[in-house]
Amino acid sequence: MALHRIRRISAPSSESWPPALPAGRRSGLESWLTDAGSLTRRLRQHSTQFELRLLRQGAARALRDEYALLGLPQGRKVWRRDVLLIADGVPRVLGHSVCTLTALRGPWRLLRHLGVKPVGDAVFTRPQTRRSDLRVRRLRAAHPLCRMECTGHAAGPRWARRSSFVYAGEALWVSEVFFLAEEA
């Protein structure tokens, strides 16, 4: 599969996560948090066995801070996908993606049929896709993404990154929560 270079765009003003740099420097995971390439591809390169475990996919509620990013009122249903990226049998990253349901009927319709394929396989192969700047944040243990089941890790604060992928004027927001202990 040919990978295309994704053009960068600025994150919207409603985005409250700080820019990846300098915020990611104190994480111990700077190269993972600031790498603008495909996270799935990088995990595959750093492991002998890679697995994607689909936790949830379909119409659901977004996280509270995602409604402003999507331009929707609080409580409206969105398309939501949560996956666990597992390298060498160990959960490494929780992937969380959201877009409007109208985008799922339009430019992002291919997301409905991903199954256990990574979202990155869809976004990094479309040359017209633009990606916002990466943003990072240390999530508290009480954050919904840190409390998700099936991570194989005790709940606790975790570093995460977030960006949007825009295709045909519709945004797909992707957040990734890291369970990596150190730079790899």
26-36 confidence digits (pLDDT tens)? 667 788 888 88
**Predicted pLDDT at 150:** 52
DSSP assignment string, 127-167: TT-EEEPPEEEEE-TTSTTTS-SSSSS-S--EEEEEEEEEE
Find the mean pLDDT for residues 124-148.
Answer: 85
CA-based nearest residue to 137, from 157, 165, 108: 157
CA-based nearest residue to 83, from 131, 118, 49, 110: 118
Residue that the structure tokens 């990154």 belong to:
161
Q: Which domains does the chain carry? A: 7-178 (3.40.1410.10)
**Predicted pLDDT at 60:** 96
**Predicted pLDDT at 95:** 94
**Predicted pLDDT at 13:** 45
Residue that the structure tokens 């916002």 belong to:
132
**What are the tokens at 57?**
């996919």
Q: What is the pTM of this model?
A: 0.84
Decide if pLDDT at 67 tops 90: yes
Contact assessment for residue 94 and residue 84, using Cβ atoms and an 8 Å cutoff: yes
Q: How confident is the model at residue 142 (pLDDT cuts 50, 70, 90)?
A: confident
Q: How confident is the model at residue 154 (pLDDT cuts 50, 70, 90)?
A: low
The full length of the chain comes to 184
Decide if pLDDT at 88 tops 50: yes
Decide if pLDDT at 10 tops 60: no
The answer for residues whose C-beta is within 8 angstroms of residue 121's C-beta and 6 or more apart is 1, 40, 114
**Predicted pLDDT at 103:** 94
CA-based nearest residue to 137, from 176, 82, 94: 176
